[in-house]
A and B are shown apart, each in its own frame.
Chain A
Amino acid sequence: MKKWFPIILAVVFLGWAAGGIRPKKVPAGGMDFEQFGALPVVSNGRCQPMDSLARNSLLQLREKQTVNLEPWKGNLEKPRILSASEWMAAMMMKPQVADTWPVFRIDHPDIKGLLGLPMNADKAAQTDGKHFPWVLIQLRLQDLQREGQRAGMVNQQKRTPYEQGLVRLMNCVGLYMRLQNTLQPQNAKDWPAELQSYAATAAAGVAAYTAKNEKKPYDEGVLEKFMADINRFGAMGELEPPLLLTPKAGETGASNWKRSVEGLVGLARGEPMHFGLSAYARISGAYARGDAAGFNEAVADYRAALQQTVPGEVIKSGREQTFNRVEPFYKALCMYVMAFVCVLLYWAAPARMEVARRTAWWLVVAALCIHTGGLLTRMLLEGRPPVTNLYSSAVFIGWGACILGLVLERFWRNSVGLAVSSTIGFLTLIIAHMLALSGDTMEMMRAVLDTNFWLATHVVVVTLGYASTYVAGFLAIIYIGRGVLTSGLDSATGKSLIKMVYGIVCFATLFSFVGTVLGGIWADQSWGRFWGWDPKENGALIIVLWNALILHARWGGLVRERGMANLAIVGNIVTSWSWFGVNMLGIGLHSYGFMESGFRWLMIFVGSQLLLLALGGLPQRLWRSARGLSEKPA
Chain B
Amino acid sequence: MRAIWKFLSSLRLTVVCLSLSIILVFVGTVAQADEGLYQAQVRYFKQWMVWGPMLFGHRLPVPLPGGYLLGVVLLVNLIGAHIQRFQWTAKKTGIHLTHLGIILLLVGQLATDIFSVETFLHFREGESKSYSESHREHELAFSIDAGDGQEKVVAFPESLVAKGGELRHPDLPFTLRIKEYRINSQVMAKSEVTEAGGRLQTALATLESNYSTAEGLPVQAEKAGDMPGRREVWVAALAAVGETGVTDLVAAAKKISADPGRAGRLQTELKGRFRKEMLGRFTQQGGAMQVAAERIGKGESLEGLASPVEKGLGSDVVVFPAPEARAMDTKNWPYAVVEVLQEGKSLGAWLFSPWFMGRDRVALAQDFEAGGKVWRGAFRSERVYYPFSVQLLKTTHEVYPGTTIPKNFQSRVRLVNRERSETREVDIYMNNPLRYAGLTYFQSGMDKDPEKPGALGSSTLQVVRNPGWLTPYLACVLVGLGMTWQFLYHLSNFVLRRRSNS
Contacts and interface: CB of A to CB of B under 8 A. Distances in A.
Interface of A: 42-46, 146, 149-150, 240, 242-243, 254-257, 259, 411, 443-444, 446-448, 450-451, 454, 503, 506-507, 509-510, 513-514, 517-518, 520-522, 524-531, 533-535, 538-539, 541-542, 545-546, 548-549, 552-553, 555-556, 558, 574, 577, 582, 585-588
B403 A447 contact: no
B379 interface: no
11 contacts: A43-B402, A446-B407, A503-B491, A510-B483, A514-B479, A517-B479, A525-B433, A542-B22, A542-B26, A556-B14, A587-B33
A514 B480 contact: yes
Nearest to A521: B472
A446 B406 contact: yes
Interface in B425-479: 429-433, 440, 442, 444, 462, 464, 466, 469, 472-473, 475-476, 479
Interface in B32-71: 32-33, 37, 40-41, 45
A242 B431 contact: no
Contacts of A451: 430-431
Contacts of A520: 472
Contacts of A555: 11
B32 A446 contact: no
Contact of B29 (A256, A531, A539): A539
Contacts of B21: 545
Given A45-B400, A149-B228, A517-B105, A585 B430 contact: no
Contact of B401 (A146, A255, A518, A541): A255
B186 interface: no
A316 to B, nearest CB: 15
Contacts of B181: none
A448 B409 CA distance: 9
A406 B498 CA distance: 18
Given A503-B491, A556-B10, A558-B12, 13 more contacts: A240-B402, A450-B430, A503-B494, A510-B483, A517-B475, A525-B432, A527-B462, A528-B433, A534-B37, A553-B15, A555-B11, A586-B33, A587-B32
Given A448-B431, A513-B479, A527 B22 contact: no
A535 B462 contact: no
Interface residues of B, number: 63
A535 B14 CA distance: 24
A109 to B, nearest CB: 20
Nearest to B480: A514
B30 interface: yes
Contacts of B37: 533-534, 587-588
Contacts of A146: 228
B172 to A, nearest CB: 35
B499 to A, nearest CB: 11
Nearest to B495: A411
Given A411-B498, A533-B41, A506 B405 contact: no
A265 to B, nearest CB: 16
B10 A521 contact: no
Contacts of B408: 447, 450
B15 A243 contact: no
Nearest to A558: B15
B487 interface: yes
B473 A521 contact: yes
Interface in B368-416: 398-403, 405-409
B137 interface: no
A585 B30 contact: yes
B464 A510 contact: no
B188 interface: no
Nearest to B21: A545
B240 interface: no
B472 A517 contact: yes
B442 A518 contact: no
Contacts of A545: 18, 21-22, 25
B352 to A, nearest CB: 30
B226 to A, nearest CB: 8
B434 to A, nearest CB: 11
A552 B15 contact: yes
B28 interface: yes
User: Among B25, B41, B432, B479, which residue has the most Cβ atoms of chain A within 10 A?
Assistant: B25
Contacts of B185: none
Contacts of B486: 506
A553 B11 CA distance: 7
Interface in B205-257: 228
B229 to A, nearest CB: 9
Contact of B406 (A259, A443, A447): A447
B103 to A, nearest CB: 14
Nearest to A453: B431
B18 A549 contact: yes
Given A448-B430, A538-B25, A545-B22, A528 B11 contact: no
B400 A506 contact: no
B132 to A, nearest CB: 12
A246 B476 CA distance: 47
A446 B408 CA distance: 8
B112 interface: yes
A523 to B, nearest CB: 10
B406 A527 contact: no
A447 B14 contact: no
A411 B491 CA distance: 12
A526 B483 CA distance: 27
B301 interface: no
A241 to B, nearest CB: 8
A517 B470 CA distance: 12
A188 B18 CA distance: 68
B19 interface: yes
